[in-house]
Amino acid sequence: MKLPLPELPQFDYIKAESAERAIDLLQEKGAAARILMGGTDLLVRMRNGALAPTVLVDIKNLPGMSAISFTKKDGLTVGAAVTMNALARNSDVLHHYPLLAEAAESVASYQLRNRATVGGNLCNASPAADTAPAALVLEAELTVMGPKGERTIPAMEFFKGPGVNALEAGEFLARINYSNPPKGWKGRYMKIGRNAGGDLAIVGVAVMGYPDKDAPSDFRFRIALASVAPTTIRVHEAEEILAQNPITETVIGMAAEAAQEAATPIDDVRASARYRNAMVKELTRRGLVDVWSSLKKEA
Amino acid sequence: MIKAMDITVTVNGEVFQKTIEPRLLLSDFIRHELNLSGTHVGCEHGVCGACTILFDGMPTRSCLMFAVQADGHEIRTVEDLGTMEDLHPLQEAFQETHALQCGFCTSGFLMSILPILEESTDLSEEDLKRAMEGNLCRCTGYQNIRDAVQLAAEKMSSGGES
C-alpha cells in the first residue's frame, strides 16, 4: 500500500567512486549539487525547504575519508567523513587531543554522532559548530580537493560567514590535519545548550594553554568562541592579556572580559544576546581557570 | 533524469531488494516499503529519537538518512527483538517497571539501549545517562525507563536469552 507522504523534491543520489568524479559533478552541477556527508544537517535543511539540491554527491567512501592517523611528526590527520563518535573514541585523539574528543562528544546526541561527520561540521560553517573552536585553537589545516588538485586552508581562514566557507566551486574537504600542539598543552571545550545533551551551543568556548618561556607570563593561551558571532572566532586580545601578564584570577577575569568584548551575539530561538554576552565571559573564565590549574599542576 | 535506484538491504536478518526513489527517507522505507511499523516517526528532524534503528549495529536516526544510503548495509529494527508471546528481556523489563505509557517513544528507546546492553550489562550511572540522552519521552519522565534498563541489565547478565 502506498501512503501519501510529505515528499521532498526529486533529486539524484550519486555515490562518487573517485575524487575526480566528485569534482566533475560538483563543477558541472554547481549550486544544484550538494555534498552528502552524515546528512544530519543537510536532511533537516532539505526537509524544511531551505535547500533543494537536484544532486546529492556522497563522498564518504572515497579513500581516506574515514581514516584517523597520528604520528609524532605530523600530528593528527582526520578524514572529513570521520564521525563524531569515531573521533571521540579514538585512542590517539583521547590521548593526544582530549580537547578535540571533548568537542566531538558535545555534539548533539549519541545516535546523531554515529552519523555526523567532522568535515560536515566544519563545512557547514555554522557559528555554533562545536568542533570549529577546537580547530581554531589547535590551528588545524584543512586539505581540500578540487579541479586544480589539492590545496590547504588554515582553519583561521576557512570560516567566512554564517554557512559560508572558503571552498571554491568544485572543491570538497578531504581531511583535516591537527599538527602537534606545543609541548605540555592543556585544553577544554566549555559549552552550554538548553539541556545537558543533544542541543546546539548557546555559547561554546575552546581554551588551550601551554608553557612558553618567551612569553612574559611564561604561558600562552588560545581562545575560540562559538555561537556569539557570525562565525566561530579566535580572541587574540584575550590571548595577549594572558601572555603579557602574570596569570592571576584578576588577569583571567580581564581576559574573560576581552572575550566578551569580542563577542557580537544575536537574539535567536535558543537564547538572547544578553544571556550569551554574560555566558561567554563566564565560560571563558571557567575554561581558563580549568586549563590554568592543569598547567600549574605540571609546572 | 531522476533515477529510481535498486538497493539491497538486510533488515532483521532478511535480505530485501527494492527499487526506490533517492528522496525516500530510511524511516519511510522501513515503515511503508517493508511494512515494519514498529519504527516510529516523531519530530522528523533528528531530535526525538523515536525513529532510532541499528545501522550496522550502531543506533542511528532513520529519519535523517535516505534509504538509498542503506544499500549494502544491515539494519535492525524493534521487530528484531521479542514477539508478543516471547518478549526480549529488555522489553520485559520495560513492561515490568512501567517504563512506558503511550509507547510512542519506546521502540526508539529500546533500539538505543539494546547495543549498549549487548556490549556490557555492567552500566555506570554515566553509561545509563548516555544510553538515554538521545531519546525523548513526553509521558512519564525518565526514572522508570532508567529502572527498566537497570532491570534489563540484570536479566541479560544472569544468562538470560539474548
Cα A268 to chain centroid distance, Å, stands at 21
Counting residues of chain B whose pLDDT is more than 70, the rounded percentage is: 97
In a domain, B23, yes or no: yes
A186-298: CATH topology is Enolase-like; domain 1 (3.30.390)
- Count H helices, E strands: chain A? 11, 14
Please say if the pLDDT value at position B161 is more than 70. no
* Residue boundaries of the structural domains of chain A: 12-58, 68-178, 186-298
pLDDT digits (tens, 9 = 90+) for B24-54: 999 999 999 999 999 999 999 899 999 999 9
pLDDT tens-digit readout, B64-100: 999 999 999 999 999 999 999 999 999 999 999 999 9
Give the pLDDT band of residue A2 (cuts 50, 70, 90).
Answer: low
Q: Test A110 with B68 for CB contact under 8 angstroms.
A: no
Which residue in chain B has the smallest CA separation from A55?
B2
- A-B C-beta contacts closer than 8 Å: 89
Chain A residue with minimum CA distance to B129: A197
Question: Which residues in chain A are contacts of B133 at CB distance < 8 A?
Answer: 109-110, 196-198
For residue B160, report the phi and psi dihedrals to the nearest 5 degrees: -65, 170
Residue A1 is predicted with a pLDDT of 46
Q: Give the whole-number percent of chain A exceeding pLDDT 70.
A: 97
Q: Taking CB atoms and an 8 Å cutoff, what residues of chain A touch B45?
A: 43-44, 47-48
In a domain, B19, yes or no: yes
pLDDT score for A6: 61
Residue range A17-40, pLDDT digits in tens: 999 999 999 999 999 999 999 999
Distance from CA of A109 to the nearest CA of B (A): 5
| CATH code where residue B124 lies | 1.10.150.120
pLDDT over 50 (residue B162): no
Do B11 and B70 lie in a common domain? yes
Distance, in Å, from the CA atom of B159 to the CA atom of B162, rounded to the nearest integer, reads 8
Are B26 and B69 contained in the same domain? Answer: yes
| Sole residue written with cell 566528485 | A22
Q: What is the mean pLDDT of chain B?
A: 93
The whole-model pTM stands at 0.94
More confident: A3 or A224: A224
Q: Do B134 and A2 touch (CB under 8 A)?
A: no
How many structural domains are present in chain B?
Answer: 2
Q: Cα separation of B149 and A85, whole Å?
A: 22
CA dist., res. A156 & res. B154, Å (int): 50
Side-chain half-sphere of A259: how many Cα atoms within 13 Å?
Answer: 37
Chain B: residue nearest A195 by CA? B133
| CATH classification code of A12-58 | 3.30.43.10
> Domain boundary at B79, B113, B133, which?
B79
In this structure, are residues B82 and B109 in contact, taking their beta carbons and an 8 Å threshold? no
For residue B62, what pLDDT is reported? 97
Whether B162 is in a domain gets the answer: no
Residue-level pLDDT at A5: 54
A217-220: long-range pairs with CB below 8 Å, 24+: A217/A242, A217/A243, A217/A244, A217/A245, A217/A246, A217/A247, A217/A251, A219/A243, A219/A247, A219/A292, A219/A295, A220/A182
* B127 within domain boundaries: yes
Q: Which of B29, B61, B79 is the last residue of a domain?
A: B79
What confidence score (pLDDT) does residue B1 get? 60
Instruction: Yes or no: say if A263 and A228 are a contact pair by the CB < 8 Å rule.
Output: yes
CA atoms of A170 and A38, how far apart (whole Å): 19
Distance CA B28, CA A47 (A): 14
Specify the length of chain A in residues: 299
Dig out the grid coordinates for B69 from the structure: 544510503
d(CA A137, CA A131): 10
Chain A from 169 to 198: CB within 8 A of any B CB: 196-198
pLDDT at B50: 97
Of A47, A111, A196, the CB nearest to B61: A111
Q: Which domain holds residue B143?
A: 89-157
C-alpha cell at A117: 561527520
**How big is the CA angle at A210 (ends A208 and A212), to the nearest 5 degrees?**
145
Cα–Cα distance for residue pair B156/B148, rounded to 1 Å: 12
Looking at the structure, tell me whether residues B93 and B140 fall in a common domain: yes
Residues B56 and B115 in one domain: no
CATH topology of domain A68-178: 3.30.465
- In chain B, pLDDT over 90 holds for what percent of residues? 83
The pLDDT value given to residue A197: 67
**Domain of residue B29, CATH code:** 3.10.20.30
Distance CA B18, CA A169 (A): 35
